[in-house]
Amino acid sequence: MRIFIIGTGNVATHLSAALLKARHNIEGVCGRNFSHTEELAKKLNVKPFNSISSIPADADVYMISVSDDSIADVVTQMPDVEGIVAHTAGSVPMSGLARFNRHGVFYPLQSFSKTRTIDMSSVPLCIEGSDSETTDALLALARSLSNDVRPMTTIQRAHLHLAAVFASNFVNSMYAEAENILKESNIPFDIMRELIAETAAKAADMGPTAAQTGPARRGDTRVMSHQMGLMPDRELQKLYSFVSERIQGRYKTTDK
């Protein structure tokens, strides 16, 4: 397929590389920052565009991979195009693309950074289309990249994105809190590597409810009280108490 990329960030960089690897034709790249656009276009060996209004109108798919707040502006500036227009956002409704006859969503469930290598073949790709023909075309495109492709409605995708915030963004924030605690005793964060890996593996294999361990899960008030005393930061104490109470509340009924 002939695909035009709008955006130069983390998702756009990984997605365009995967599309090229799958032997799709990248027709060009357009982004807000032209130096970034030129950089990505050079990697893909395609033409950079510095104006959305000047992009070609005959590509098969236009992949809008920009920040959520910028999607509406991109849609407003785009010319009338013949192909499918899809965005890659988790929480933006498909209806935002309704000015185009054929439109949809191509949402990869993964945390992307330009400096990290991602195997797109294992990334879940969540697809929604404005009609059955568009959906089928986007599903076929997704299956050329990934072995895990799932049709999904707007409301399902919104809940998925919310769950991802808890499972990824919030969890990483907890890693940062752990890193700060370790720094107080000059312990490098890499000591947590195997613990993090095993915790994630157990959650995936057993389910997170069954995999839960720790003092709150055991109801060990002695340990929890001692750990509260190790935290001079009142906000961190509140966080510890809130999460611990949430864990204890979840298992009050399941343990009976």
Q: In the chain, where do the E strands start and end?
A: 2-6, 25-30, 48-49, 61-64, 84-87, 103-108, 125-129, 149-151
pLDDT of residue 256: 52
| Ranges 7-16, 160-169, 222-231, 244-253: which has the least confidence | 244-253
* CATH of segment(s) 157-254: 1.10.1040.20
Sheet containing 125-129: give its strands across: 48-49, 25-30, 2-6, 61-64, 84-87, 103-108, 125-129, 149-151
What is the residue extent of each domain of the chain? 2-152, 157-254
Q: Is the pLDDT of residue 86 over 90?
A: yes
Q: 255 pLDDT band (50/70/90 cuts)?
A: low
Q: How confident is the model at residue 252 (pLDDT cuts 50, 70, 90)?
A: confident
Mean pLDDT score of the chain? 94
From 122, 85, 107, select the one nearest 154 (Cα to Cα): 107
Say whether pLDDT at 116 is over 60: yes
User: What is the CATH architecture assignment of 2-152?
Assistant: 3-Layer(aba) Sandwich (3.40)
Specify the pLDDT at position 231: 93
Say which DSSP state 209 is in.
H
Predicted pLDDT of residue 150: 97
Per residue in 184-230, pLDDT tens?
Answer: 999 999 999 999 999 999 999 999 999 999 999 999 999 999 999 99
The mean pLDDT of 114-139, rounded to a whole number, is 95
pLDDT score for 253: 60
Mean pLDDT of 15-27: 95
* Global pTM value: 0.89
Task: Please state whether 3 falls in left (phi above 0), alpha (psi between -120 and 50) or beta.
Answer: beta
**Per-residue pLDDT tens digits for 34-78:** 999 999 999 999 999 999 999 999 999 999 999 999 999 999 999
Is the pLDDT at 112 greater than 60? The verdict is: yes
**pLDDT, tens only, 155-188:** 999 999 999 999 999 999 999 999 999 999 999 9
Q: Residues near 181 by Cβ (< 8 Å), separated by ≥ 6? A: 230, 231
Query: Where does the pLDDT of residue 82 fall: very low under 50, low under 70, confident under 90, or very high at 90 and above?
Result: confident
Dist. CA 79–CA 190, nearest whole Å = 49
Handedness of CA 100, 103, 106, 107 (dihedral sign): positive
Rounded distance, CA 14 to CA 109, Å?
A: 12
